[in-house]
Amino acid sequence: MMKINLNKAFNNGIADIRIEIQQAKEALALLQSGKGKGNDFLGWLTLPGSITAELISDISNTAEQIRNSSDTVVVVGIGGSYLGARAVIDALTPPFFSHKTEIIYAGHHLDADYYHHLLNYLRNKRWSIVVISKSGTTTEPAVAFRLLRKAHIEAFGLEGANRRTIAITDASKGALRKMANQNGFKTYVIPDDVGGRYSVLTPVGLLPIAISGIDIKHLVEGAKNAEKQLNQPSSENYAILYAAARNKLYREGKKIEMMVTYHPQLLYFIEWWKQLYGESEGKENKGIFVSGATFTTDLHSLGQYIQQGERHLFETLILVENSHQKVSVVNDEQNIDGLNYLSGMDIHNINNTAAQATLLAHCNGGVPNIVLSIDKITPENIGYLIYFYEIACGISGYMLGVNPFDQPGVEDYKVNMFALLGKPGFEQQREQLKKML
């Protein structure tokens, strides 16, 4: 499914991280014992194995009904209630592909122009809403849902809109649950013990992914394989190796990790990874700053900095060994552009040669590289990678000594925003903040 190579991260490869490997094994054992920090949010650890054929078929049937009744589905959510679905859909959908049912995202920002144009765009379409919020009270999706709901009722009547709305939320708490119960929306539950950023393999991710036409069975299969392999306390366990390597690099002063892909369809996969690691580890004044890049595109922007800027970063490359399609460079008799030396060469090979060349250049420039490889971008491999990154994140967070399953820092901006917007209950903070502005 995947491989990991640390030879371009450390002079002596794995031999240089023996201590960290031992610590990573202990962190995995702590995770599995359920006695570590944040242990009420460990449901994701055994999630793939608990996904039944019945759940897959229920989600697939719901997705099929939505596909049959809708030209467009608006998926409303933010953070962990948005990024996983988008990451997988983008990774597994061929570019320029015309979906039977297109997926549009909302609730992941507060841009007025976007909502104006979205509401115009939806006019005269057959559209449905999948609204996702674990807490059921997050401002961005709640504002978007309020706008969309009004337009939905105007377009399809109250009953029609209710039939065309699916809510994915807590089993009993939150405003979204209340609205769903009152209006009879079909609902799916986000398990209590699975935090937002670990929820892509619950209906939060699986329903939108299935609506996009991707077979979720294969995605889940890949994650199940990963669950079996990556829970072993072995020095061959890729999650142990990745967590050990990045903590070693961090301790040596490499404070920034760039996740690198050579495939634009993985851009949102990196966004998902950034949220997973950024929210899990960035606390108590600690943690690697996570960043991402799509090469070769970004070699023409960030490349200069990576090669010669401050030496505080390392890269993790997701190398894809094979493409699905073959496209060769054509021969040109005139050869004015001088490219005939590439005639007949597959563009994927050129891309991977660019990856090798960049790897060598960046390593020589003082940027260690962890290399993760998969054979192809397939649902199984993406499912495997999802679980790989999740368990490695839990291990890595415990090695760092933080609780990788909370996000107390996210509250600060919310309190300020509520106070400044005049939300009842925040009057005192409002007065204080206004003086500071």
Q: Are 82 and 105 in contact (CB under 8 A)?
A: yes
Pairing of strands 256-261, 289-294: parallel
Of 181, 138, 147, 135, which is closest to residue 162 (Cα–Cα)? Answer: 181
Q: Chain-centre distance of CA 6, in angstroms?
A: 24
Catalytic residue among 140, 221, 227, 279: 279
Contact pick of 62, 81, 212, 229 for ligand PA5 (by CB under 6 A): 81
What are the DSSP E strand ranges found in 286-368?
289-294, 313-320
Query: Which pair of tokens denotes residue 86?
Result: 């988008």
**C-beta closer to ligand PA5: residue 288 or 317:** 288
Least gap, CB of 79 to ligand PA5 (angstroms): 3
Q: Are 93 and 129 in contact (CB under 8 A)?
A: no
The kind and range of the H/E element at 127 are strand 127-133
- Work out whether 280 is an interface residue with ligand PA5 (CB under 6 A): no
* Alpha carbon distances (Å) from 66 to 70, 179, 212, 237: 6, 20, 10, 40
**C-beta closer to ligand PA5: residue 110 or 360:** 110
**C-beta closer to ligand PA5: residue 10 or 418:** 418
CA pair distance 396, 431, nearest whole angstrom: 41
Contact pick of 36, 48, 84, 196 for ligand PA5 (by CB under 6 A): 196
**C-beta closer to ligand PA5: residue 221 or 279:** 279
- Work out whether 205 is an interface residue with ligand PA5 (CB under 6 A): no
300 counts as catalytic? yes
Query: Which region among 128-136, 220-228, 317-325, 395-403 touches ligand PA5 (by CB under 6 A)?
Result: 128-136
324 counts as catalytic? no
- Work out whether 134 is an interface residue with ligand PA5 (CB under 6 A): yes
Catalytic residue among 414, 427, 431, 434: 414
Of 129, 20, 433, 390, which is closest to residue 239 (Cα–Cα)? Answer: 390
Q: Are 410 and 43 in contact (CB under 8 A)?
A: no
Site string for ligand PA5, 135-164 (x = CB under 6 A): x--x--x-----------------------
Site string for ligand PA5, 374-413 (x = CB under 6 A): ---------------------------------x------
279 counts as catalytic? yes
Cα-Cα-Cα-Cα dihedral sign, residues 288, 294, 299, 300: negative
Contact pick of 36, 48, 79, 208 for ligand PA5 (by CB under 6 A): 79
Q: Are 241 and 14 in contact (CB under 8 A)?
A: yes
- Work out whether 108 is an interface residue with ligand PA5 (CB under 6 A): no
Query: Which pair of tokens denotes residue 321?
Result: 């060994």
Residues in the chain: 437
- Work out whether 69 is an interface residue with ligand PA5 (CB under 6 A): no
- Work out whether 80 is an interface residue with ligand PA5 (CB under 6 A): yes
Query: Which region among 28-36, 52-60, 195-203, 333-341 touches ligand PA5 (by CB under 6 A)?
Result: 195-203
DSSP assignment of 292-303: EEETTGGGGTTH
Query: Which pair of tokens denotes residue 69?
Result: 């009744």
Total chain residues near ligand PA5 (CB under 6 A): 14
Positions touching ligand PA5 (CB under 6 A) are 78-81, 133-135, 138, 141, 195-197, 279, 407
Catalytic residue numbers read 279, 300, 414
